[in-house]
Structure 1
Amino acid sequence: MPSIKQFQVTFDCAEPERLARFWCEVLGYVVPPPPEGYTTWDDFKQAQPPEERDAWFACGDPSGVGPRLFFQRVPEGKVAKNRVHLDVRVGTGLVGEERVAVLEAECARLVALGGVRVRLLLADEENESCLVMQDVEGNEFCLD
């Protein structure tokens, strides 16, 4: 049985392009070029029937290593804690105050982009410190 080589992470959301652009800034991802035959994404959107405009958006790792992120509009809002979340690895290899300082600096950058700081979880016997945040639509993620 062949192994899976690629996967994408899909987010249900209210505003796909806004959320995709937030995650581009968080991860250093890029928006791909518009579909063939369109000069800009706005041209593509205008060519769609009104009910399909802004229905989805995607972004990807420019190096091709990380998964593609796909954002699809859904009618219902977020009502509970995420069952899956992303851990953004900014403090790998760091411990103690140095790790917390890096987490806090990245948190400040993401808050300026519209993210929300939820809480700092300090290191214990099993885990290093991490910082819980929410993206621009309230989806939880961790700075780790």
Structure 2
Amino acid sequence: MYISNDCVFPSDWTKDNLMRRHASRPYNPNIANTFFRAGYVEVWGRGIQKICEACGELGAPMPEYEITSEFITISLKALNNKKRDVGLDVGLDVGLDVGLENKILSIIRSNPQITQKEIAIHLSVTERTVQRIFKKLSKDKTIERIGGKRFGQWIIKK
């Protein structure tokens, strides 16, 4: 699969720079900040590193990047004869949070007293991301909090 994006990279950025920890310099900071505040961006400057880490965890080949001054293309190779995690095997039309929702519900089933902060640490996502998903699950009446913050627990209703 190839994913390509038109962009303008700073003149001092190279493929090597992107593969290491680096400061993020978004082309449109207003749009980037909107996604960050909405919880869709967890940490600035770690997207490519997280993609590589995920490939490593799955045993998939590392992605290949082509970078020019005007675009970036990532090439991802499919896994053959590997079982996939059911929580991640969803269509793009379902939404990005479905895999996380399923993981969170699984964690709640095993430990109803767990905190949102503990879930965020367990899933390696921001606490804000977990809060956003909890808000959606509560609004959909999928989960409910019984008791207070300190001694309460989560109940899965659906």
Structure with bigger gyration radius: 2
Instruction: Give the structure-2-normalised TM-score.
Output: 0.32
Higher helix share: 2
Higher strand share: 1
Instruction: Give the structure-1-normalised TM-score.
Output: 0.34
